[in-house]
Amino acid sequence: MTTGYTARVKPETTPAEWLRICAHAFYYDLDFDKPLPQGRDLKHDEDRVAEAGAEVEKLAEMTLAEARVKERAAREESNRYWAEIKKKNAKEAQVFRGLLNQVLAWRAPKMLNALKEFAVQQLEGELKQLDYKHTPMKFRPAALWLSEQREWAAGSLARAEESLAKAREQNKETAEFVATLYTEMARLAEVDKLGSK
């Protein structure tokens, strides 16, 4: 049985071409007709760092009066959001409960009992998720709210910076891998040329 890799082998496939095909297993992009990537685009990571840094600065300059207004708006928005989710979940739960009752009432042949059991487990699991009880946000003093927001923003910035550093390191490793692979492919192509003479 051929795989996505071996299906690309032809009688004229050289060892160098085979290595290039197999090298795609080390990357998410399996488009065999494109060159191997040299690393991922860092723009998203750099944007996250910039946005998180801007949020840290904004919160550092925020006054307690501004924090009172923001805390209240955030609380009201969160409570509205969760009220909508509760309504949506109640509608979905009706559908899943109806389906669950029908599956439970089904007198499955013995050989399909495992399927019935699996179907029931899936529906019960979904119903458990839909039954999430959210505790509405309560008033938080502006100083406490602002302190928590600053802490959250600082953590977000640290995670974004760490992610960018890891992406840069992965790009460095990828560039090294691809350079070594291309050097080895060229060497194998030369060996193949010598062998065919």
| Residue 46 confidence class, pLDDT cut points 50, 70, 90 | very high
Residue 51 vs residues 44, 78, 112, 167, 188: alpha-carbon distances, Å: 10, 22, 53, 17, 47
pLDDT digits (tens, 9 = 90+) for 79-124: 999 999 999 999 889 898 999 999 999 998 898 889 999 999 999 9
pLDDT the model gives residue 196: 61
**3-class state of residue 35 by DSSP:** coil
Task: Give the position of tokens 């750099």.
Answer: 46
Amino acid in the structure at residue 153: A
DSSP structure class, residue 135: P
Task: Give the position of tokens 């801007």.
Answer: 54
Neighbouring C-beta atoms of residue 41, cutoff 10 Å: 10
Query: What are the domain boundaries of the chain?
Result: 38-195
Neighbouring C-beta atoms of residue 109, cutoff 10 Å: 9
Which has more confidence, 126 or 28? 126
Residue 123 burial (C-beta neighbours within 10 Å; 0-12, 13-18, 19+)? buried
pLDDT digits (tens, 9 = 90+) for 149-177: 999 999 999 999 999 999 999 888 888 88
pLDDT the model gives residue 2: 52
Please report the DSSP string for 95-119 in residue order.
HHHHHHHHHHH----GGGHHHHHHH
Q: Are 19 and 188 in contact (CB under 8 A)?
A: yes
Does position 6 have pLDDT exceeding 80, yes or no? no
CA dist., res. 62 & res. 5, Å (int)? 56
| Residue 15 confidence class, pLDDT cut points 50, 70, 90 | confident
CA dist., res. 123 & res. 121, Å (int)? 6
Q: What backbone torsions phi and psi does residue 31 show, to the nearest 5 degrees?
A: -80, 105
